[in-house]
């Protein structure tokens, strides 16, 4: 059974993912952008796993969902650390 909040989250994530993919050239200018984008893809996959767990393999997909949220958080943390080190080192100063 799909809950409304999970469905709305999936729609919002899908809209943001489409927006990210259509503006990929602009995102290339962000330092360490791969970690940032992979973080969002993992978040989107976790949201999709939330919906799917209501229909098949609930235990496995629930575990997958939470592992993907963990991966997303770790990748975002890595990106933030790298991003601020990049600018702290003077590379972004002009």
What number is the average pLDDT over the span 64-70? 97
So what's the pLDDT on residue 45?
Answer: 96
50 neighbors 6 (Cβ within 8 angstroms): yes
In the numeric block, which tokens belong to residue 33?
């952008």
62 neighbors 52 (Cβ within 8 angstroms): no
Q: How many residues does the chain have?
A: 94
What number is the average pLDDT over the span 59-75? 97
36 neighbors 76 (Cβ within 8 angstroms): yes
The pTM for the full model equals 0.84
């Amino acid at each position: 059974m799909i809950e409304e909040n999970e469905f709305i989250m999936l729609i919002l994530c899908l809209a943001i993912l489409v927006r990210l993919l259509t503006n990929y050239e602009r995102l290339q200018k962000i330092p360490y952008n791969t970690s940032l984008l992979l973080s969002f893809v993992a978040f989107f996959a976790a949201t999709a796993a939330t919906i799917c767990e209501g229909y098949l393999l609930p235990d496995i997909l629930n575990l997958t969902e939470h592992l993907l949220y963990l991966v997303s958080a770790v990748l975002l943390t890595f990106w933030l650390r790298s991003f601020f080190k990049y600018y702290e080192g003077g590379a972004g100063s002009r």
